[in-house]
Structure 1
Amino acid sequence: MAKLKLRGKDLIAIGYPQGKVISIAIDIMLRHYKRDRKDKVVQRLKTVLKTPEKYIGDGIMGKIAEELMQPVKVEAQKLNTQRAPFTIFGENEIQEEAKHQLYTALKLPVAKAGALMPDGHSGYGLPIGGVLATENAVIPYGVGVDIGCRMCLSIYDINVSYLEGHKDKYIQMLRDHSKFGGYEVHKNIPMHEIFEHKGFSEIPTVKKLKDKAFKQLGSSGGGNHFVEFGSVEITDPDNEFDIPPGKYLGILSHSGSRGLGANIAKHYTKLAMKQNPLPQEAKHLAWLDLNTHDGQEYWIAMNLAGDYASACHDDIHRRLSKALGSRPLTVIENHHNFAWKEEVEGKEMIVHRKGATPAGKNVLGIIPGSMTAPGFIVRGKGNEASLNSASHGAGRRLSRRKAKTMLTGSEVKKMLRDHGVTVLGGGLDEAPMAYKDIHKVMANQTELVEVIGMFTPKIVRMDKN
């Protein structure tokens, strides 16, 4: 069948007003109905024109309906001359570039408050460790490319000494039951309720990603993502999970929403940059108004990606629990690349945490160190100056490029040997020396969280193995 040929004059002939709605409608029709007969497509467009209110929120026709009823105004945005209020924690340990990225974000017309965590370093849009509260606007690059990147810790009533005494067994478990990178996937993938999410059927951009998301379920990305066995030490006798103080075996995983989240971020960032173009130094901070079709669609897609990331961790821990032959005593988890609707100074705001851990009053979280440094189980103190946030890890001391040029394999092997850590995969860019001192980072956020336990890595698996 011939490809659909649709012109602006065809829409004008059936009553469409001249303007942006025509190009939007043609683009949508060509993307979704390019093999349909022209008369059928024109009839669809007539129906939307007649009763656009019925199509608000529709995955395909919603954007046409919105433009007919209340056109999205596209205009170049200017930065404010004054920054929104902010606080930087551990300022002396943070490079100037990261601070300046926060300063730029604080000048956005939609910015209302911000903070930078002590693990902060530069990124795209918001710096890593950046927290930004906005009014009725969401910034895709304020969330990050790896939407819903998160931590998950399962704690087992298993003697930690087994990690050394049966090391080969635990190494094999990680090889068999964890997958990394763009090509490793599990042979047997169970159906998960996440695939019943309305986003997979109602949002065209997301619908196209469903098959890939299914194949990647239970896998982890490259870079700093990992699955590891280690020792958990519970130090707080009044912990929320009623586990007596002591040492336990733990599984800690770090990864996000894989190709699903990356493609959602890419698509909606492009839309944001078209709708709210900003000066060059701020272009990656373009936002979507939550009153628009695209803003609402991104919000649904972002939450879906976060739920999918959680589902991936569920699958990773389920597989390893089955291999261990044990059920966890408890599971602790948290996102650190996400946006939430939260109250800030008595008003609902969109709080972006890009590489920052939610740390509201009594909220539990996990802040990892590096391959050879402990991570921490923490309880939030609800500090308003940090927008109820804390660091998401140690933070990078060296960029990936610098780590690859400045460090050597022999240095890394010696450090791993000295700390009794076995690593499967990983590269020089993820060497322990590429990261800040986690103990300094934790010392710079004592007013944000209290420590209730620690996780010490023993067997680590990452990409490239």
Structure 2
Amino acid sequence: MAYQVIDGIRIWGSPDAGALAQARTCAGTGQVVQTLLMADHHQGYSQPIGGVVVYDGQISPSGVGYDIACGNKAVRTRLYAADMKPRLAQVMDEIARTISFGIGRVNQEKADHALFDDPDWAVYSSIGKQVHDKLKTLARDQLGTVGSGNHFVDLFEEEGTGRLWAANHFGSRGFGHRTASGFLNLAADRGFLDNAPGEKLEQPPVLFDLNSELGEMYECAMRLAGRYAYAGRDYVMDQVLRILGTEADFAVHNHHNYAWREQHDGREVIVVRKGATPSAPGQLGFIGGSMGDISVIVQGKDSAENKEAFYSTVHGAGRIMSRTQAAGRMNWKTRARSGGQITRAQMMEAVQSFGVELRGAGTDESPFVYRSLRQVLDAHAETIGVLHTLKPIGVCMAGADEFDPYKD
């Protein structure tokens, strides 16, 4: 097997000390069946990113995290990258103008959706009318916005075929963030809309029994946030295809911050994946690299090791440098950063050498802060197979240093 076991935790890739300490805490809290670290693991809030915790009859709002249902949608278009490249700069300008990155919207277009008539909104009404109205209004206002942090809209050229692909990455935005913080508040006997003190990196996971009132309510709200994230990624992808003037003939769409009810070894368990992609045999997934690296479409293998991974794999290359280390500390009064290890000139040189047309982004998302995706994938060679390898040609993210409280 390609993984190692430390204190009962199954670990792919090189163990990160901070993430391993968090995984030990997770493994020792609640009704845990198994704790795992994917090869892109690093520290997160409570449960490590790239971490998977399998529970018997429990669900963890801190494990799923604040960006409920963060994930990717990737599509293969009917175009070839070579036909697009002469107008690539203009297309990337149009994507940056049309699609809302960061906080707020770049236009007044509001994306309506049948989701807003979903009966599961009643879960918020049961908490209170103010909660229901506030979260539903926020969800309406932000549907189809991308956010900031590592969230993106990218164009790719497929190796071998030259086909043009498009992909996006974001989750349930402020609606998901308020849902997570609200249930963490309720778990601590605070009001749903209270200002929460925030999670500490080392704190134990917050757990709800599935058959408890809070457990049932959270799972319902989480699933609604999941459908909302899917709707948002669909909406943004439709915008991209309109800009490109084409259609998709193949699509891959998945979450990587979520809790799934699954059958493993003949019993139902809850698999909480934070920054980890489901990889059941035959299941497709998109795994993104940095803006100076490949991304891939993968398929889960029917293998013993994939079964022992609880059908989970990486969601990206994994950070090796924090945002503050890369970009420095921000003074929000002067909007100046200091102490960063990566300059914008270094980032632009690296991105341009890889042939990428970049819009937005800060040095905290530069190629230097991530592992090599190929090395990460090698650690999971027995669990997933690569179907399509995609080289980025256009990357669009929120502008450098744009503050967004709902980023991943």
Q: 1:456 aligns with which of 384, 391, 395?
A: 391
3-state SS, counterpart of residue 209 of structure 1: helix
**1:447, distance to aligned residue in structure 2 (A):** 1.2
- The Cα offsets for residues 272-301 of structure 1, whole Å up to 9 and x where unpaired, read as 3459xxxx9864401111111111111011
Q: What does 1:288-437 correspond to in 2, within 5 Å? A: 288-382=208-302, 383-404=306-327, 405-437=340-372
Unmatched 5+ residue regions in structure 1?
A: 1-82, 236-245
Q: What does 1:144-223 correspond to in 2, within 5 Å? A: 144-204=65-125, 205-223=131-149
| Match of residue 99 from structure 1 | 20
Q: Could you state the TM-score of these two structures normalised by the residue count of structure 1?
A: 0.76
Q: 2: distance between equivalents of 1:261 and 1:347?
A: 29
Q: 1:206 to 1:438 in 2, by over 3 A?
A: farther
**1:225, distance to aligned residue in structure 2 (A):** 0.2
**1:266, distance to aligned residue in structure 2 (A):** 0.4
Q: 1: distance between equivalents of 2:132 and 2:389?
A: 38
Q: Could you state the TM-score of these two structures normalised by the residue count of structure 2?
A: 0.86
* Residues 1:231 and 2:231 aligned together: no
Kept in 2, the 8 Å contact 1:201–1:207? The answer is: no
Q: 2: distance between equivalents of 1:320 and 1:299?
A: 32
- The Cα offsets for residues 393-442 of structure 1, whole Å up to 9 and x where unpaired, read as 00001011111111111111110111111211111111110001111101
Question: Which of structures 1 and 2 has the larger relative contact order (alpha carbons within 8 angstroms, sep 6+)?
Answer: 2
3-state SS, counterpart of residue 456 of structure 1: strand
The 4+ residue runs of structure 1 with deviation greater than 4 A are none
Kept in 2, the 8 Å contact 1:126–1:141? The answer is: yes
| Match of residue 406 from structure 2 | none
Q: 2: distance between equivalents of 1:402 and 1:172?
A: 30
Report sequence identity in percent: 33
**1:247, distance to aligned residue in structure 2 (A):** 2.2
C-alpha RMSD over aligned residues: 1.8
- The Cα offsets for residues 94-137 of structure 1, whole Å up to 9 and x where unpaired, read as 32010111111011131111210000000111100000111111
Q: 1: distance between equivalents of 2:381 and 2:35?
A: 19
Q: 2: distance between equivalents of 1:159 and 1:331?
A: 16
Q: 1: distance between equivalents of 2:344 and 2:284?
A: 36
3-state SS, counterpart of residue 252 of structure 1: strand
* Residues 1:130 and 2:23 aligned together: no
Q: 2: distance between equivalents of 1:274 and 1:294?
A: 12
Letter of the 2:61 counterpart: P
Structure with the larger strand share: 2
Q: 2: distance between equivalents of 1:427 and 1:206?
A: 35
Letter of the 2:377 counterpart: M
Q: 1: distance between equivalents of 2:292 and 2:11?
A: 27
Q: 1: distance between equivalents of 2:80 and 2:44?
A: 40
Please say which of residues 94-103 and 205-214 is displaced more in the overlay.
205-214
Q: 2: distance between equivalents of 1:166 and 1:387?
A: 44
**1:188, distance to aligned residue in structure 2 (A):** 1.9
Kept in 2, the 8 Å contact 1:361–1:380? The answer is: yes
Q: 2:378 aligns with which of 431, 434, 443?
A: 443
**1:169, distance to aligned residue in structure 2 (A):** 2.6
Unmatched 5+ residue regions in structure 2?
A: 1-5, 126-130, 191-199, 328-339, 401-408
- The Cα offsets for residues 179-220 of structure 1, whole Å up to 9 and x where unpaired, read as 111222542224211111223244233442111111111111
Q: Larger Rg: 1 or 2?
A: 1
3-state SS, counterpart of residue 152 of structure 1: strand
**1:265, distance to aligned residue in structure 2 (A):** 0.6
